[in-house]
A and B are shown apart, each in its own frame.
Chain A
Amino acid sequence: MNPQAIMDGLITGSMIGLGAIGVTLTYSILRFANFAHGEFISWGAYFALAISGALGSLSGAFLAPIGPFSFGWSLPLATVLAVALTGGLALLVDALLFGRLRAQRGAVIIMVMASFGAALTLRSLLEFIFTSKPAYFSKALQIAMPLGGGLRATPDQLLSLGIAVLLVVAVHLLLTRTAIGRSMRAVSENQQLAGVVGIDVRKVIRTVWVLGAGLACVAGVMAGLLVQIRPYMGFDLLLPLFAAAILGGIGSVPGAMLAGLIVGLTEAFAVQLIGAEWRAAIAFVILVAVLLLRPQGLFGRPE
């Protein structure tokens, strides 16, 4: 087997992991599986593409590659703005849809079906605005550098991996060491008691949307940078995202990232050992296996 599968798996896994953190946080706080989460990945990538393009048209200097990377300063600047816009989009969807259903004490199944509807709407809007033609942040070719042990990676890939690790550590510290993180954990455990203690539950919910959508945006930019940007890119990642969130244990940020890497690596090995056509089935097999054998996941607690 080609050891390069390890690198491919880690890179795909880091994107899955970042997206799965949003899924796991939304589920643990709002208690429903948000199938529209994948669309925040796509929208994040397209927001960054549009802003990056606008910056590039303002000045060519923004497009000049930074060091060994394939992109110029337009992309990091666009990503920061895109994170804010994707967070805003998540808040808008919550205000227009999920928040109203919560206020009506809508059943979980209604929330889940609403998220399907939101996903379809968001995806169709993207196709309407940007068409379904694939787009790229950069068309520059990068040569993969040898890393030893038969592994190779491009500078963009290594940067993406590094950013994913940094973000996971940052989110983990946010949850465990800060007041807003403690509040999020408290709301996740008992919303009514959280209110009694003085926590503004609505503020915590808004924070979770912005955080989850922001991470999805970064995952989208990574996917766009390393592969391509398509309206269906988030939808294609949906099953792996849920497999990772459930494998990691609902509510566990390190669990989601580790599980994302496991799903990514398993997919990469499956492509080599079984065939590329089985890639999509791997996440499903993992999902079913976890639900049957250890429903609480790797780091979750039994209900």
Chain B
Amino acid sequence: MTATGQPVALSTKALVAGYERDLPIVRGVDFSIRSGELVIVLGPNGAGKSTFVKAVAGLVPIHSGATFLGDRDITSVPAHEKIRHGLAFVPQTENIFATLSINDNLLLAANILPKEKRSRRIADLYAMFPDLASRPSLRAGQLSGGQRQMLAVARALIVEPSVLILDEPSAGLSPKIVSEVFSKLKAINETGVTIILVEQNVKAALAIADRAVILVEGLLRHEGPAATLADDPIVAELYLGARHQSKAVAS
């Protein structure tokens, strides 16, 4: 699916964010993603990737700049209201309620929908994630790593968000499971959901992304089509750890 010509789904203007006002981690990021795009956010450790998406999701204080969902300024909208505007976020860790059942996790998310829609949406998500449908009363903490990610994604999709942000969904998963998770994310993106993906698993993420942006020290330094970026030796060397990885493989 090409997003060229589509309206901007989410954007940030000169976004400065961080846990401490005098120590910003994100230092003025201008970013935009078009409807239906899948954009991957890359960068070395400590570049501010997670802080950037958490700030957009309302979990890290924004000190200056602005965030827009479409044309709507959502900079000061509290985190729990953003989902109502169509912005869903899946944190990197602790992204499900482990003590609640699979069904209760989904019911919690469905709670902001009109009553008559809740059961249907949960049924839709069970159809999309059959692994979850077979044991709805199972405590979510008993799921495997991959199943937990699927539950977290299903939970985020319940409200049919226009934009889905995921913070390193492949963290801690085996390569086979990573491949399954990314296939599922691509399939979700192909239904029209705009996706922003923070990833360390560069190769797998670039394979499904339309475009990539690279953050370095809290600033957006490079962006371009994912395929181009994957083949760019300078970018790969500087920011994606290609030299380091090849040396490690050689040794």
A-side residues, CB < 8 A to B, are 179, 182-183, 185-186, 189-190, 192-201, 301
B80 nearest in chain A by CB position: A195
Q: Does any Cβ of A come within 8 Å of B83's Cβ?
A: yes
Which interface class (under 10, 10 to 19, 20 to 34, 35 or more) fits B?
A: 20 to 34
Cβ-defined contact, B83 with A198, below 8 A:
yes
- With a CB–CB cut-off of 8 A, which chain B residues contact A182? 100, 104, 107-108, 111
Cβ-defined contact, B59 with A189, below 8 A:
no
- With a CB–CB cut-off of 8 A, which chain A residues contact B89? 196
Cβ-defined contact, B57 with A185, below 8 A:
no
Cβ-defined contact, B159 with A193, below 8 A:
no
Cβ-defined contact, B97 with A189, below 8 A:
yes
Q: Does any Cβ of A come within 8 Å of B95's Cβ?
A: yes
- With a CB–CB cut-off of 8 A, which chain B residues contact A194? 80
Query: Quick one: given A179-B111, A182-B104, are A198 and B84 in contact (CB under 8 Å)?
Result: yes
A-B contact count (CB 8 A): 63
Cβ-defined contact, A197 with B98, below 8 A:
no
For chain B, residues 44 to 95, give those with C-beta under 8 angstroms from any C-beta of chain A. Answer: 57-59, 78-81, 83-84, 89, 91, 94-95
Residue in A183, A189, A194, A195 whose Cβ sees the most chain B Cβ within 10 Å: A195
Interface of A is mostly: helix
How distant is B223 from chain A, measured CB to nearest CB, in Å?
26
Contact of A190 among B84, B94, B107 (CB under 8 A): B94
B-side residues, CB < 8 A to A, are 57-59, 78-81, 83-84, 89, 91, 94-100, 104, 107-109, 111-112, 155, 159
Residue in B59, B79, B98, B100 whose Cβ sees the most chain A Cβ within 10 Å: B79
How distant is B87 from chain A, measured CB to nearest CB, in Å?
10
Cβ-defined contact, B111 with A190, below 8 A:
no
How distant is A300 from chain B, measured CB to nearest CB, in Å?
11
Bound Cα distance from A53 to B78, whole angstroms? 46
Bound Cα distance from A192 to B96, whole angstroms? 11
A203 nearest in chain B by CB position: B80
Cβ-defined contact, B108 with A197, below 8 A:
yes
Cβ-defined contact, A198 with B111, below 8 A:
yes
Bound Cα distance from A194 to B57, whole angstroms? 13
- With a CB–CB cut-off of 8 A, which chain A residues contact B78? 195
How distant is A228 from chain B, measured CB to nearest CB, in Å?
41
Cβ-defined contact, B108 with A189, below 8 A:
no
